[in-house]
Amino acid sequence: MPLKRSKPLPAQCKATTPSGEPCRAKPHKEGLCFFHSDPKKAAELGRKGGRRRAVYRPAGLKEFAAPRSAADLRDLLAQSIIEIRSGKLDPKLANSISYLGAGFLRALEVSDLETRLQTLEERTENDDGKSQAQS
């Protein structure tokens, strides 16, 4: 028994775009692309994308001065967690705050080490001066 051949799908969607040009997407079913075969689905996905890209307004966020210590950064991160969970802060922005906070902590560590090293060098210089004067 010979196989029944189905009609091949066209190379591109047979619908037109809002600008009047032919849609260049690959056909999905009935010669239409995914979006032209189900326009409601396209609108739904557009809404989801719009919500995902929503611009968060900083007006509802708690004001914070620039952190000067690890404790200040801890407070900022704790408040950011609260604002993410309440939907006031965009998780992408919180991710940036976290990344910058990690850099800030590294800078604090280096600054602390520099201060301690400078203090030790000054003590060493003072001790060397005293021991040479006694000789």
What is the predicted pLDDT for the residue at 55?
Answer: 59
Regions of the chain with pLDDT less than 50: none
Burial of 35 by CB count in 10 Å (0-12 exposed, 13-18 middle, 19+ buried)?
A: middle
**Spatial distance between the Cα atoms of 13 and 38, rounded to a whole number of angstroms:** 13
In a domain, 125, yes or no: yes
Q: Are residues 76 and 102 in the same domain?
A: yes
What is the predicted pLDDT for the residue at 43?
Answer: 76
Number of domains in the chain: 2
Which structural domain, as residue segments, surrounds residue 82?
A: 58-134
**Spatial distance between the Cα atoms of 57 and 90, rounded to a whole number of angstroms:** 9
What is the predicted pLDDT for the residue at 71?
Answer: 93
Q: Are residues 29 and 63 in the same domain?
A: no
Q: Are residues 38 and 19 in the same domain?
A: yes
Q: Are residues 128 and 73 in the same domain?
A: yes
**Spatial distance between the Cα atoms of 106 and 112, rounded to a whole number of angstroms:** 10
What is the predicted pLDDT for the residue at 128?
Answer: 73
CB-CB neighbours of 64 under 10 Å: 13
In a domain, 129, yes or no: yes
Per residue in 74-91, pLDDT (tens digit) is: 999 999 999 889 888 888
**Spatial distance between the Cα atoms of 20 and 17, rounded to a whole number of angstroms:** 5
Q: Are residues 64 and 27 in the same domain?
A: no
CA-based angle 76:108:100, to the nearest 5?
45
What is the predicted pLDDT for the residue at 110?
Answer: 95
What is the predicted pLDDT for the residue at 108?
Answer: 94
Q: Are residues 40 and 62 in the same domain?
A: no
In a domain, 15, yes or no: yes
In a domain, 45, yes or no: yes
Phi, psi of 22 (to 5 degrees): -65, 140
**CA-based R_g, the chain, Å:** 32
In a domain, 110, yes or no: yes
Q: Are residues 81 and 36 in the same domain?
A: no
